[in-house]
Amino acid sequence: MSGSARYAIYFVPPAGGTFYRFGSGMLGYDCYTGADVALPRDTGLPEDWAALTEAPRRYGFHATLCAPFRLTPECDEAALLDAFAGFAGQPRGVAEIRPVVRALGKFIAIVPRDRDTAVDTLAADCVRYFDRFRAPLSSDDRERRMTPTLSERERSNVDRWGYPYVLDDFCFHLTLTGTVADDRGDILCHLLSNLFLRSHGRGTIKIDRVALLRQDHEGARFLALREAELGTVPGPRARQALR
């Protein structure tokens, strides 16, 4: 299975919190359990909401730290799991952000109200740490990631790191929609912002954990294999709960 599988390192909010319940409810998918999630009632969302969220649903509610990759022939899933535990156990400060709903180009996401260097550092460390496990992009994968709108530096990132939006080009965000037409963006953004405030309020969230997810084959949904709070080593319960 691992030969065709892809893996990713994400920030995924705790499963029992209002933040995760909101995001997984909007996308209709729980990446911790692999189950569909019914859309909350009385949201006022458009009838085509399922279609608008089809693309991000596959990945679950998350913020990318290390984008999906296939393993090199020299590495296997067991080694990656051990490395994940090692990365999570490294001591580091915990960032705390105030989440807001914003339009990012053609899609809508939850982002920090103010940029936090600790979050950027976590993502950069993650990209560098797991790069040894990443197989080079196939020609098809490279073509998909080399979109015409990329800057020269972002194109260089694809060739060096396998993904355009890393290091200085990183933007922490948790996606809520796929591509939204220009004439609908403002209305949907306002609606989602109000729904988020109703669900989560104006409180902050801690970026205090990482999750390792796997996609078994192309087109499959990503499912969490491990989660861990930063600065801790996953114990037996954390190791087994997501198997």
Q: How far is Cα 80 from Cα 66, in angstroms, rounded to an integer?
A: 13
pLDDT in tens, 54-73: 999 999 999 999 999 999 99
Going along the chain from its start, the domains and CATH numbers come out as 6-241 (3.90.1140.10)
| Confidence band of 42 (pLDDT split at 50, 70, 90) | confident
CA nearest to 83, candidates 20, 9, 31, 13? 9
Q: What is the pLDDT at residue 93?
A: 86
DSSP string, 37-64: -PPPSS----TTHHHHTHHHHTT-S-EE
pLDDT in tens, 69-86: 999 999 999 999 999 999
Helix (H, G, I), strand (E, B) or coil at 135: coil
| Confidence band of 3 (pLDDT split at 50, 70, 90) | low
Q: What is the pLDDT at residue 41?
A: 82
